[in-house]
Amino acid sequence: MTSLTPVAPSGIWWRLRASAAIARLAGRSMLFYRTSLAISVIVLLVQIYALSMVWTSVYADRGAVPGSGGVGDISIEMQLAYVSLSVVQFWALNGWSAYSLQQRVREGRIGTDLARPLGLLWQVVMGRVGTIAACLPFAAAVLVLATTVGNVSPPAGLGAAAGYLVALLLATIISIQLVVLVDMTSFWTLEVTGIYLSFSLVSRLLSGSLVPLWFMPEWLRVLAGLLPFQATTFTPVAIYLGTLTGTAVWRALGISAVWVIILGVALRLSWNRVLNRVVVQGG
Amino acid sequence: MITRIRRQARMYRVLMGAAMRAQGQYRANLIIELIGAIAYQGAGFAFVWVVVDRFGQIGGWGLAELALLYGLRLGAHGVFTSLFAQLMGPISDVVREGEFDRYLTRPVNPLLQLVTRRFNLTVVGDLVGGAALVVAGASQIDVAWTAPAVAYLILAVVGGAFIEAAMHLTASALSFRMITTQAISSAIDQLLSTLGGYPQKIFPIGFQLGLTFVFPLAFMAYFPATVLLGRTDELAVPGWLAVLSPAVGVILLLAAYGFWRGQIRHYASTGN
Amino acid sequence: MSTEPVIRVENLRKEFRRPKRFNGPLGGLRTLATRQHTVVPAVVDVSFDISPGELVGYLGPNGAGKSTTIKMLTGIMVPTSGTVEVAGLTPWRDRERNARGIGVVFGQRSQLWWDLPVIESFRLVKAMYEIPTPRFDTNLAMFTELLDMGGFMATPVRQLSLGQRMRADLAAAMLYEPAVLYLDEPTIGLDVLAKEAIRTFLAELNTTRGTTVILTTHDMDDLERLASRLILIDHGSVVYDGDLTTLKNRYAPYREVVVQPTDPALAEQIQIGGTQQARVTDGKAWLRFNPEVIGVAEVIGAVLADYQVSDLSIVDPDLEGVLRQIYAQRGNDDVSDIS
């Protein structure tokens, strides 16, 4: 994972093992809430179904509809595939976590967390990794289901597959960065719920998990294209489906990479402020 | 009978007032909280708006009509949460930790005490959002907003709130059997959000009937909307059933309340 | 004072039907699906009458059926069979009417509104029990003074100390002048002064207002100070029902003289006819005797005559010891927590 702090070579194996341990712990605690997880998956399936019905309805009898942003015509099959892939992806990467900073603060365990040798920020990040990893089997199952029903087809070629994997990696990193940044707001504001919910709207809309960018009004599409949210959902799926090709792919990946850096810096700066508040001022 | 109802209503006001004052002790910027709540619910409509912007309609319904539908759904949700939000909370904890036993030792309806134990200001967001959408949509629709129509609109919103309350009340009643119901309540909440904003004619008949007779979402906003918009011929069920939506809300809530009381009797007989 | 009992319990029985638990491979599934039940008796043929104005201690080891009985008395639980009448009402049937006439105080859980000032909780109680304003004002003023609550009336409940909170809880329970007050561990966790304040208040309530009090507590001093009558329940049945003195006389018909000889090593050897060496610790000997057989003066005289004594005291059996003995005799495993 990305870290802007240089790590001493001797410590790296220990760091890796400790990180893996935390990730595993977070993942296992997800299983503890398996009823919630199961219900979450059912709701996911209903969501995919409902959205598919909406798109089928608006497409009416048309086989394809032109999309904006230079992606060409979008066939109904592509749109349905987009729905399945994007909703599942968004769910896996942004799903509610059993391991959050906010909760640790509320429970008063933040003190012990800070005392642990592995940096707290890193712990939170690895916590997210574990949570996402725990969701992956379910995400895979849902996608397999979607494929058998005919909603999803294999990627549009080898290049698309490769691009998809790279985009997915960047998507995961950015997702984690965003979630942790929002999580951190619990340190300096009481209106956490309000901020979290607002973030939820913005993220759902601009990431393309509800509407693909190619169907958005022009101004919204351009705006979304510049923000990090679309990197978490739209870009990987668009590459997978082959709607982004050639230079467009490089451009999209480039924007994603830039956001990884920007968010990384923002994280580091915010974290320093948080540490300062908690440790020096007693939070 | 009337005095009983008036007494309960007064009790509700007093206890809810206390819950609101208790919430006021925590000085958070309520504006941001409100905006957040509106934003969260608004995401669903943002989707509808973008799709209509590109495709002109969903299921033949234009933006104004969809706004009315979504507004009815959101308004019903808002009325529900402002009255009964606590039903979505950790009821089995309340039961297990003896707080519910305390309610039983007081001369006040235990359900009333349960729903007034806390108050969260974010509920106002749903009401405001819903009202805004309904007004926005209604003003653009070519429908005569006569007094009966407006009255029906209000009845529909209240009826929808009653149905949502009935769903959550039924789920909460299971807490007396020590079944953790928060996940179920969360599921109900998410399903209503996911499915509530679309005219159900876009779904296959089987699914539509399911949303009518199994998971009665249809009565909450869709049926009343079709009545107000004169679209009852699109329905898979007879028009008169759609008109009776508010009544269905009352019936379901009474049934759910009966189930709830029955579960309390069971709890009193068997402990936990 | 009327002789008609305010609480009548007759042949009260409560059995819990628990689904039979299966062990082994498909145990969980079988347990869920089974129609077989095991019957767990919690309260077995309990009968007692309580007259108005009595202050009764209700005791028993954990799991004896105490809280189950109290739940049936307060209307929270429905008995399997038997009758309960509180002020003429059947608690679980006329739950709301019964609720108006009872006060319930749990030592560990407050009934007050956590985030609001104390006075607001009182006003809410006034609203819930529909207390007429003049009566409310009078009672509030009286309790404020009796319990010294003036200093924290405006403080949110969550900021109160345990002692303050208990006092407020007691006041809240009494504002509507219930005929019966159920107390569960009212002095738990409190310091000496706070305990004293609570006990004084309860004694005052009992004598001046004639409030019937049912007290469940682990604190022996509470009982010694307040209870005129003890009902002991064990394994669901009433084991003893009467006053403290008779209890002690029946189960601990002895007194003890504690002798500390000038030479501590000699403590073990102290023997006096007619007494029994109950225990020797720290260079002291406890000599146990039956006061009806041999007088205390005689014992002391004999000790002083035969031994060089540096200190001597008389000890009466304490309630805790008596109860411990009773429970041990009845074969309870855990006697460390004796009530």
Please report which confidence band the pLDDT of residue A104 belongs to, taking 50, 70 and 90 as the band edges. low
User: Do residue B107 and residue C100 have CB atoms under 8 angstroms apart?
Assistant: yes
Q: Which of A43, A190, A198 sits opposite B39 (nearest CB)?
A: A198
Task: Return the residue of B nearest to C39 by Cα.
Answer: B270
Task: Return the residue of B nearest to C157 by Cα.
Answer: B22
Task: Say if residue C336's pLDDT is above 90.
Answer: no
Task: Say if residue A106's pLDDT is above 60.
Answer: no
Partners of C114 on chain B (C-beta within 8 Å) are 22
d(CA C285, CA C277): 7
d(CA C50, CA C9): 9
d(CA C252, CA C290): 9
Domain membership flag for residue A140 = yes
Task: For chain B, state the CA radius of gyration.
Answer: 19
User: Do residue B99 and residue C17 have CB atoms under 8 angstroms apart?
Assistant: no
- The residues on A that touch B, with CB distances below 8 Å, are 35-36, 39, 42-43, 46-47, 50, 53-54, 56-58, 65, 189-191, 193-198, 200-202, 204-205, 210-211, 215-217, 220
Question: Could you give the number of structural domains in chain A?
Answer: 1
User: Do residue B191 and residue A36 have CB atoms under 8 angstroms apart?
Assistant: no
| Touching chains B and A? (3+ Cβ pairs < 8 A) | yes
Q: Does B105 touch chain C (CB under 8 A)?
A: yes
User: Do residue B195 and residue A204 have CB atoms under 8 angstroms apart?
Assistant: no
How close is the nearest chain B Cα to the Cα of A69, in Å?
14
Q: Does B33 touch chain A (CB under 8 A)?
A: yes
Average pLDDT over residues A5-32: 72
Which ipTM value was assigned to this complex? 0.87
Confidence (pLDDT) at B26: 65
Confidence (pLDDT) at A234: 93
d(CA A23, CA A128): 7
> How many cross-chain Cβ pairs, B to C, lie less than 8 Å apart?
66
Average pLDDT over residues C200-215: 92
Task: Return the residue of A nearest to B201 by Cα.
Answer: A57
Confidence (pLDDT) at A103: 58
Alpha carbon B42 to its chain centroid, in Å, reads: 16
Task: Say if residue A7's pLDDT is above 60.
Answer: no
Contact by Cβ (8 Å): C147, C192: no
Partners of B26 on chain A (C-beta within 8 Å) are 190
What pLDDT, in 10s, does the model give residues A154-180? 888 888 888 999 999 999 999 999 988
Q: Does B50 touch chain A (CB under 8 A)?
A: yes
Q: Mean pLDDT in each 10-residue stretch from start to end of chain B (272 residues)?
A: 86 91 71 75 86 91 92 91 85 86 93 89 80 86 86 94 95 86 86 90 92 93 93 88 94 96 89 64
Confidence (pLDDT) at A101: 57
Domain membership flag for residue A197 = yes
- Lowest-pLDDT range of A12-16, A263-267, B253-257: A12-16
CA-angle at B210, arms to B209 and B216, nearest 5°: 95
- Per DSSP, the three-state class of C57 is strand
| Touching chains C and B? (3+ Cβ pairs < 8 A) | yes
d(CA B260, CA B166): 10
Helices B147-173 and B63-84 cross at an angle (nearest 10°) of: 50
Confidence (pLDDT) at C97: 92
Residue B132, judged by CB atoms within 10 A of its CB (0-12, 13-18, 19+), counts as: middle
Neighbours of chain C (3+ CB pairs under 8 A): B
Percent of chain C with pLDDT over 70: 93
Partners of B104 on chain C (C-beta within 8 Å) are 74-76, 95, 99
Partners of A193 on chain B (C-beta within 8 Å) are 33, 36-37, 122
User: Do residue A50 and residue B195 have CB atoms under 8 angstroms apart?
Assistant: yes
Confidence (pLDDT) at C189: 87
Alpha carbon C34 to its chain centroid, in Å, reads: 39
How close is the nearest chain B Cα to the Cα of A214, in Å?
10
Partners of B95 on chain C (C-beta within 8 Å) are none
d(CA B83, CA B85): 6
Partners of B202 on chain A (C-beta within 8 Å) are 53-54, 56-57
What pLDDT, in 10s, does the model give residues C247-295? 888 887 888 899 999 988 888 888 888 888 888 888 888 888 888 888 8
How close is the nearest chain C Cα to the Cα of B265, in Å?
8
Partners of C96 on chain B (C-beta within 8 Å) are 107-108
| More confidently predicted of A2 and C108 | C108
What pLDDT, in 10s, does the model give residues C116-157? 999 999 999 999 999 999 999 999 999 999 999 999 999 999
User: Do residue C116 and residue B108 have CB atoms under 8 angstroms apart?
Assistant: no
State the DSSP string of chain A.
Answer: ---SS---GGGHHHHHHHHHHHHHHHHHHHHHTHHHHHHHHHHHHHHHHHHHHHHHHHHTT-SEEEETTTTEEEEHHHHHHHHHHHHHHHHHHH---SS-HHHHHHHTTHHHHHHSSS-HHHHHHHHHHHHHHHHHHHHHHHHHHHHHHTS----SSHHHHHHHHHHHHHHHHHHHHHHHHHHHGGGT-S-HHHHHHHHHHHHHHHTTSSS-GGGS-HHHHHHHHHSSHHHHTHHHHHHHTTSS-THHHHHHHHHHHHHHHHHHHHHHHHHHHHHIIIIIT--
What pLDDT, in 10s, does the model give residues A46-86? 999 999 999 999 998 888 888 887 778 888 989 999 999 99
Partners of B270 on chain C (C-beta within 8 Å) are 16-17
Confidence (pLDDT) at C333: 52
A234 CB-near residues (< 8 Å, 6+ apart): A86, A207, A208, A212, A213, A224
Task: Say if residue C2's pLDDT is above 60.
Answer: no
Confidence (pLDDT) at A3: 57
Token pair listed for C106? 């749990």
Domain ranges (residues) in chain B: 2-266
Confidence (pLDDT) at B234: 86
How close is the nearest chain B Cα to the Cα of A204, in Å?
7
Cβ within 8 Å of A, B 211-250:
none
User: Do residue B108 and residue C128 have CB atoms under 8 angstroms apart?
Assistant: yes
Partners of C99 on chain B (C-beta within 8 Å) are 104-107
Q: Which of A194, A201, A216 sits opposite B43 (nearest CB)?
A: A201
Task: Say if residue A117's pLDDT is above 80.
Answer: no
* pLDDT, averaged across chain A: 82
Confidence (pLDDT) at C172: 95
Partners of B98 on chain C (C-beta within 8 Å) are 106, 109
Partners of B265 on chain C (C-beta within 8 Å) are 78
d(CA B248, CA B228): 17
Report the first-to-last Cα separation within chain B, whole angstroms. 33
The residue range of the domain holding A102 is 12-277
Which of C95, C114, C214 best tests the B interface by mutation, with the highest count of B CBs <10 A? Answer: C95
User: Do residue B40 and residue A200 have CB atoms under 8 angstroms apart?
Assistant: yes
Partners of A220 on chain B (C-beta within 8 Å) are 50
Confidence (pLDDT) at A8: 47
Which of A32, A46, A57 best tests the B interface by mutation, with the highest count of B CBs <10 A? Answer: A57
User: Do residue C127 and residue B22 have CB atoms under 8 angstroms apart?
Assistant: no
Task: Return the residue of C nearest to B265 by Cα.
Answer: C78
User: Do residue B268 and residue C96 have CB atoms under 8 angstroms apart?
Assistant: no
Confidence (pLDDT) at C338: 40
| Assessment of whether the complete model's pTM goes beyond 0.90 | no
Partners of B27 on chain C (C-beta within 8 Å) are none
Q: Of how many residues is chain C composed? A: 339
- Lowest-pLDDT range of A25-39, A154-168, B105-119, C62-76: A25-39
Query: What b/e readout covers A137-154, taking b as 16+ CB neighbours within 10 angstroms?
Result: ebbeebbeebeeeebbee
Confidence (pLDDT) at A148: 86
Please report which confidence band the pLDDT of residue C31 belongs to, taking 50, 70 and 90 as the band edges. low
User: Do residue A58 and residue B55 have CB atoms under 8 angstroms apart?
Assistant: yes
Partners of B97 on chain C (C-beta within 8 Å) are 109
